Amino acid sequence: MNSNQPNSQAPAKGEPSAVQIQPSSDAQTRVGYLPQSETIEADERIPIAHEEGYDPLAIALALQPSETTFPDRFRLIMLTVVAAALVIFLFPTERFFKPRTKDLGTMTIGGPITGVNLAHINKRNEPWFNVLLEIDRLYFGEGKLSDAIRVAESALEIVPRKNWERWEKVHYRYWELLSAAGRVHTLKTASQAYLQILPENPFANFFYAQAFLSATNRIRSFSAEMKQAYRQEAESVIHQVENACNALNAQRQHPEVKEKESVLLELYQKLRLEQAKLYVLIWKLGGYQEDKHPDVAFRDKALDICDSAELVNIIEAKALKIDIYTRILDRWWWFEGQQVIQGMKQRRKTLEQNVKALKKELKDIQKQ
């Protein structure tokens, strides 16, 4: 073979025009070999879309600008606000995250005082402390309630009235023991005497109201004169308790008592609960009146206290509401359509459902 003879089978390297371009197949075109082109204008896209068989409505929507207008934004905001309002109204937070129901328990200054407690070392020289130590030893240590009461009475009867405030812890424990022993009349007399010196003391007001209510509830029949006398005394005690509650609220607002906030709140709750019971007593003395009778105001005040933010989750308040609702239902005649309760017209069926729900709630708490 002559090497100088040009090779007709292989083209020269520097001549691109001599390269043979094979036509692309249909499969290669579909896979990704697209022709280069410029951007297609909108008026050119419409005929192409029609030829491809697209729906005219889809073509019109595709050609609309993507930017939202101010009316569209305003409508979206309004829909969001309405949706949020509906969620808050139909699904309130307290329906799913209810605060835990609380039992107030009895009024007390706490557990027994012990001489080895470091917090009480600086009080050992106080005469009232040694008396309280002996009372708690007899009551908590040996279970001698009567002996503990005698020790308290013997000590307090020789204390001058001007020093009663210094001996307040002994007074509080004494009233606590009298309440536990069921000595209602002695408790009423002792707490009333203390209130003459310190009329806004929360412990004295609580035990006096409790003793008054206990003594009244023991009476099975009232004459007209007795009803009037007990009603007047109940109104007087309500006024006293109101002043004590206002004093506690003033203390709670002071910045230096933050560490005692829970204690003051519990005292306030207990006083308010006794006040609600006093309102119910006045309603009872009037014969559990209803509708437009003036005594209904006392019933509704008791319900308002039970529904207040401080008492709404208290077990004793729920039990008192059940008692009030039951009294209303017992006097509700079958032909009566609605009654006004707390300023709102309510049907008998609604009240029955409320009682049923409250009883179920208390029953579930007892199972826990």
The yes-or-no verdict on residue 13 having pLDDT over 50 is no
What percentage of the chain has pLDDT greater than the value 90? 52
Instruction: Let me know if residue 248 belongs to a domain.
Output: no
pLDDT of amino acid 12? 45
pLDDT of amino acid 86? 81
pLDDT digits (tens, 9 = 90+) for 194-222: 999 999 999 999 999 999 999 999 998 99
Domain limits for position 164:
107-181
The yes-or-no verdict on residue 307 having pLDDT over 90 is yes
Per-chain mean pLDDT for the chain: 83
Provide the number of structural domains found in the chain.
Answer: 2
**Of 150, 181, 212, which residue sits at a domain end?**
181
- Reported as a pLDDT band with limits 50, 70 and 90, residue 19 is very low
Instruction: Let me know if residue 259 belongs to a domain.
Output: no
User: Do the beta carbons of residue 181 and residue 153 sit within 8 Å?
Assistant: no
pLDDT of amino acid 121? 53
pLDDT of amino acid 110? 81
Instruction: Let me know if residue 187 belongs to a domain.
Output: no
What percentage of the chain has pLDDT greater than the value 70? 79
**Cα 187 from Cα 132, distance rounded (Å):** 18
**Of 161, 181, 201, which residue sits at a domain end?**
181
What's the mean pLDDT in 149-162?
96
**Cα 322 from Cα 362, distance rounded (Å):** 10
Greater model confidence, 292 or 1: 292
Which residues on adjacent β-strands are paired with residue 340? 345
**Cα 163 from Cα 183, distance rounded (Å):** 25
- Reported as a pLDDT band with limits 50, 70 and 90, residue 39 is low
Instruction: Let me know if residue 273 belongs to a domain.
Output: no
**Of 128, 156, 181, which residue sits at a domain end?**
181
pLDDT of amino acid 290? 85
User: Which residues contact residue 240 at a Cβ distance below 8 angstroms, ignoring those fewer than 6 apart?
Assistant: 195, 199, 205, 208, 209
Instruction: Let me know if residue 308 belongs to a domain.
Output: yes
